[in-house]
Structure 1
């Protein structure tokens, strides 16, 4: 494949990492190209197009074509790579929490798999983009991506021509956002050594937040989840009305009497004090009109004029509020990791249009980021 450039001064460490994470890729030539792509992501400045990656890792005139074929069309399993990466990351240090976070990948045109019009609440505008859902392990102060799902709107799963063009497997069908996130939870539970750690995610802009919370509760998964203020809840604490009167989470929180001063601590050791209002609630049963779920603690940081800000819900009702509030900071940590992967590791630079190619690229980007953060930075 031509001469390959080393990464920094520790190519031996990179080789050992590559050998471990890509060990389930059956063919030796594919494993070599996996390491080359990984090396390219680590050392290529700027845009991580296949041509630029090839230029930085090989002197072969056919390297770009081989790399493109490896990531876009070669039949290797990305799931096994992500599973190996999960075990490698946990071998560096046990995870203290899981985080699920969405990533918006802007795209021009309509041919990239999964591309659709999506209103991004952070950008406050509608974008033509792919929407990815990432699962992260909190390893010390680092958020390590260990699995992904590409959100496919119904037209992409219902149109036979689109499916064939993007090489979407027959087993992949439309699933709402919350269902895909629960699938990530199930996958991590089956993979990780510490499956009892809490999950943190933000569903404050998602109508499926209540069904997602119920799904976590029925899996007996500890969680801290951001909620939309319009979600309906039943007051459940002391002084709650005897009749079950549904009210919005925002209205409940505005009237909650308990205000505590808490100390927030981030994973990297930063601390500050804030005031938090909280109270116990239950969620009404699902479509089967079953019994309510809970009790859960609904809580929010309050401003100086006593207005509640972002609403959160947790089933970790017996843990200190300082600890629960600190877990909410993982949302911004995951967002920062995604920004770094976009800027320095080519997260949004995949030029191919196929479903397998997207997952291959995300597995390789995740591997490069994990290696840089846990093997090189330490």
Structure 2
């Protein structure tokens, strides 16, 4: 149970976060509105819409909330940069995984910026919705969303009247989801975000520009591709026959709601990697029905199969982050129609979710909330960085996961009995 002292300390930490982003707001009124908006997103309200956020702030109507999101002068992209720095300060891990994914926001009508009938992975079908592309940060201290952008479909990008009504900046042109994802990746890497890996689904894995950029920047990746992905001399699905009888290994990609996510995995190397690195096709076989999933990987030479499996499993953290951010900070409960309003609400919601992640980290480690405002002392850093088992020796060992997965069994059959393991990557 939360004590009065703990609650007061958390309030002070939230106040410190509001002060941290305050230079991004030109006027005192906007700064106060930002603090109240964050507090409302974190409050136990039934919904985090304009009316309820206004009531929580003591306003008689949602006009001030709408004015804050639409008309007051402040820079949401600068707040995004503050968010990224905040996450790195508290959750930074040199072996972390940057994860790309998108989420659909169901909408009625046609006036909300970027809305149209399009496929939503969230709904699993074509719906009237907006699509947001996100970048998350997942490491041994927790995971949080660190970047976001709204996907603007071609019909919107080429319609001057709709752009004007929705306040879409003139500098914003049509860009594919992989292009938007690559822009966010480069922004994070240029800012020095510590990480060793990138993961993403086939929307991003099939994009060669993303893979080439990561290879050039010497960042490892485990990216999902479709079964029809070309890989000479055929497609990735043709390579399954090349897996030897003893080439399948039963591993857990981390814990899910029902325990370890167990699959059979195989790795088939292929040429074309930068010096000191290796490329491979990673194949996941589902137990029971044998359904296959394919990944293209690039990793430092000597990287264990278990490390690649861990990175593949880390992709699920962004889906968990979406669900928690919806339920806890109202990520999808906005009532704005403009480009500016969408990015402002989403940025502050993601910042509120990062704050909760930092609180969880402190609680799990047994530290009091008063420690949230500062960095770890040298003793803490030394203790936290001790590996559970030595990483594989290589010139690029700084990229390898310090907490290693445990191989359960070497098997040619999905029916082989698995040895119990201790999963190193827990849902937080």
Same fold per TM (> 0.5)?
yes
Q: Number of aligned pairs?
A: 348
For 1:300 and 1:105, the matched residues in 2 are separated by: 32
Moved more, 318-327 or 298-307: 298-307
Q: Secondary structure at the match of 1:328?
A: helix
Q: CA RMSD in A?
A: 2.7
Shift of 1:110: 0.8
* Counterpart contact for 2:206–2:229, Cα < 8 Å: no
* Counterpart contact for 1:89–1:139, Cα < 8 Å: no
Shift of 1:192: 3.3
Q: Hey, what does 2:88 align to over in structure 1? A: 90
Q: Does 1:316 align with 2:299?
A: yes
Structure 2 residue corresponding to 1:256, chosen from 243, 246, 265: 243
For 1:114 and 1:251, the matched residues in 2 are separated by: 39
* Counterpart contact for 2:141–2:361, Cα < 8 Å: no
For 2:187 and 2:171, the matched residues in 1 are separated by: 16
Change (3 A) 1:267 1:94: farther
Matches within 5 A, 1:1-378: 8-9=7-8, 10-58=10-58, 60-61=59-60, 64-95=62-93, 96-121=96-121, 123-140=123-140, 142-194=142-194, 196-203=195-202, 208-234=206-232, 245=233, 247-257=234-244, 259-261=247-249, 263-264=251-252, 266=254, 274-281=263-270, 296-304=279-287, 307=290, 309-316=292-299, 318=301, 319-375=303-359, 378=362
For 2:51 and 2:100, the matched residues in 1 are separated by: 32
Q: Hey, what does 1:242 align to over in structure 2? A: none
Q: Which 5+ residue runs of structure 1 have no aligned equivalent?
A: 1-6, 235-244, 284-293
Shift of 1:121: 4.5
* Counterpart contact for 1:300–1:308, Cα < 8 Å: no
For 2:360 and 2:235, the matched residues in 1 are separated by: 48
For 2:336 and 2:289, the matched residues in 1 are separated by: 50
Change (3 A) 1:353 1:79: same
1:322-368 superposed Cα distances (whole Å, 9 cap, x missing partner): 01101111221110110111122111111111101111001100111
Shift of 1:48: 1.0
1:2-25 superposed Cα distances (whole Å, 9 cap, x missing partner): xxxxx9433211101111134332
For 1:48 and 1:55, the matched residues in 2 are separated by: 10
1:250-309 superposed Cα distances (whole Å, 9 cap, x missing partner): 1223433362425436389x75654212212358xxxxxxxxxx9621112224579452
Q: Give me the TM-score of the superposition, normalised by structure 1.
A: 0.84
Shift of 1:207: 8.9
Q: Which 5+ residue runs of structure 2 have no aligned equivalent?
A: 1-5, 363-428
Moved more, 352-361 or 24-33: 24-33
